[in-house]
Structure 1
Amino acid sequence: MRNDNKVGEKNSPTTKNKFWQFIRKNGFSTLMGIFIVVLLVSPDAKSFMLQQLMRTGVFNASIDKKGSATSTHSDNDFDFVDHKGNVQSTASLRGKVVFINFWASWCPPCRAEFPSIERLYSRFKDNPNMFFLTINEDTDLSAGYDYLKKENYSVPFYRTNSKVPSDIYSGALPTTIVLDKAGKVRFHHAGFANYGSDKFVKQIEELIKE
């Protein structure tokens, strides 16, 4: 006599088979869900994705022409301090082109653009007419140091030492500003961008020559 219970067990799909059937039917949606979760929880994953977008060239930074300089130099000044505790003011940087970048180690867009800033810094770090003011906004100072060390970045490390004018920095990360030799804002951008492009390097060189 046939055992109907055994036949039923044999014909019914197992839990394992059900799982793979679900994956085959919903594989793309499942992978997209996992991808989105990873992006939400991983700063490295977010920054990697943003870096791929930067490769398209859409996010290449560009400095406007001389006629677009905004605000007077006195409106832009603030104090900053280096890792040794030395305090300076942007006012003391007159005669130099100043590249200012506000960043934090936990900020994915900051991480995404940092390789381009490192390339720009490597290009101009020995130029006496150029100054890089990369200002860390981490609550924990060591987090910023650890990030730069981990990624082998050589850009200088600064913190603000006075109130920063809202026209310079309003709290959005990352924010990048370029001041000309007179201290006027020639470039202001809130959000990530590519600062290592040939075009941007050439524009910095032109500012230095002014």
Structure 2
Amino acid sequence: MNRHKFSFRTIPGWVYTLTIIGVLYATGLHTEVIGQVQRLLLATGLKNAEVPSVEDTVPTSASSTSTLASKAGAGFEMKDVEGRVVSFESLRGKVIFLNIWATWCPPCIAEMPNIQSLYEKVGSGEIAFVMLSVDRKGLDKVKKFIDRKGFTFPVYLPISQIPEEFNSPSIPSTYIISPEGKIVAQQSGMAEYDTPEMRNFLLKLAKKTTNPLTPTT
């Protein structure tokens, strides 16, 4: 009588693959794994963020009135990871780097390290970072994620409805807003932001943009 001995070699490869995928999804690690793979893509430089010309973003004195009439994020309120309420309009007068993300979004996770690097290099009193999480499970999950990753850029969750001008069919989405409240650049999908072009753009925008409330002579 023949007895068949069990051997792992007889198990088809697809069974191992499905098992690994199942474990990753069951533990929630699939987001991290996919994010790390996409991060390698960003490292190639093929997904650098598009950077406009600073000269095309600075309003002239003739257009200052219309700029004041349409400020991005007017009336929008957020809370930081400590639960403090912050008005988006309180950041007016600064260049704002707004990134909309979520902990369950692999492309968001992929680009966050390079955003952290950008923040460390240019974040200042003139350039404000707003990492706006749209996680529905709330503040605790977001705070634990940020702490575990060691990110130090400012993170917020929306309190009021996200303004229509920041609505995007996908995340991550990034908006750069001038001190006058004008959206001067927008990026849908993940990108590499810590580039010389982006750093120079943000710094020059903060330096060259004048206060539209100041009368010209």
Calculate the TM-score normalised by the size of structure 2: 0.75
Instruction: Give distance in 1, aligned partners of 2:196 and 2:157.
Output: 29
Superposed displacement of residue 107, structure 1: 1.1
Superposed displacement of residue 91, structure 1: 2.4
Secondary structure in structure 2 of the residue aligned to 1:117: helix
Q: Which segments of 5 or more consecutive residues in structure 2 lack a partner in the other structure?
A: 60-65, 209-217
Instruction: Give distance in 2, aligned partners of 1:18 and 1:152.
Output: 42
Maintained 8 Å contact 1:63/1:186? no
Per-residue CA deviation, residues 23-67 of structure 1 (Å, 9 max, x unaligned), is 6xxxxxx59956994798311110011001111111111221243
Maintained 8 Å contact 2:177/2:184? yes
Per-residue CA deviation, residues 139-190 of structure 1 (Å, 9 max, x unaligned), is 2221111111111111122111222222212362211111011111111122
Instruction: Give distance in 1, aligned partners of 2:9 and 2:152.
Output: 53
AA aligned opposite 2:131: T
1:131 paired with 2:95, answer no
2:108 to 96, 107, 110: 110
Instruction: Give distance in 2, aligned partners of 1:136 and 1:69.
Output: 29
AA aligned opposite 2:200: K
Matches of residues 142-153 of structure 1 in structure 2 within 5 Å? Answer: 142-153=140-151
1:19 to 10, 31, 38: 10
Aligned length: 193
CA RMSD of superposed structures (Å):
3.1
1:54 to 34, 39, 42: 42
Maintained 8 Å contact 2:133/2:142? yes
AA aligned opposite 1:136: S
Instruction: Give distance in 1, aligned partners of 2:148 and 2:83.
Output: 23
Calculate the TM-score normalised by the size of structure 1: 0.77
1:119 to 117, 120, 129: 117
* Aligned-residue identity in percent: 27
Superposed displacement of residue 132, structure 1: 0.9
1:93 paired with 2:91, answer yes
Which range is displaced more, 50-59 or 78-87?
78-87
Q: Which segments of 5 or more consecutive residues in structure 1 lack a partner in the other structure?
A: 24-29
Secondary structure in structure 2 of the residue aligned to 1:182: coil
Partner of 1:169: 167
Maintained 8 Å contact 2:101/2:108? yes
CA 1:166–1:69: 2 relative to 1, 3 Å: farther
CA 1:53–1:189: 2 relative to 1, 3 Å: same
Maintained 8 Å contact 1:59/1:194? yes
Q: Which has the larger radius of gyration?
A: 1
Partner of 1:27: none
AA aligned opposite 1:63: V
Matches of residues 26-105 of structure 1 in structure 2 within 5 Å? Answer: 30=14, 37=21, 41=25, 42-65=30-53, 66-67=55-56, 72=67, 73-77=70-74, 78-105=76-103
